[in-house]
Amino acid sequence: MAGFAEDASENLGAPGARMLVIAAQFNREIVELLSTGAMTALQRAQAEAELIMVPGALEIPIAAKIALDSADKSARSFDGIIALGCVIRGDTYHFEIVSNESARALMDLSVLRSMPLGNGVLTVENEDQALVRADPKRGDKGGEAARAALALTVLKRSMA
């Protein structure tokens, strides 16, 4: 099944799709790799991207809501959201809170607004895992998140 998803996502074209990319600054080196992968995928799909930076993964959902609300008022709405960040397990329960709550809030927002979402917030055990997953030449999770949002955007357009 993985081969099918990869093949389908490589052929995605979403000319003119306006995508909101929200990237957390925490673990910046890793998030920069995720952003590179996401932006490359969006460019290949001929989609537009607006990038917003936030402090960390917990700030991504509220930044998405603020940006979506603002865009709706200006009649320049977004077609989808791509969330990029990295949460590395530490010695405290904080990892679970950040991982679970950011994912829950993003999913709630996506479902409530029927907004295509690509969740590229990595939740990993260590920095080495994160680097492998984020690197566009190895794991390309940023690109995967963008392609997921694009696939849902294409689906939504086809259902309109």
Mind telling me the catalytic residues? 94
Per DSSP, the three-state class of 116 is coil
In sequence order, the 6+-apart residues with CB closer than 8 A to the CB of 3 are none
Tokens 């979403």 map to which residue?
14
Edge-to-edge strands, sheet with 80-88: 48-54, 18-24, 80-88, 117-124
For residue 86, list its beta bridge partners: 122
Tokens of 147: 């392609």
In sequence order, the 6+-apart residues with CB closer than 8 A to the CB of 160 are none
Cα–Cα nearest to 42, from 23, 68, 70, 63: 23
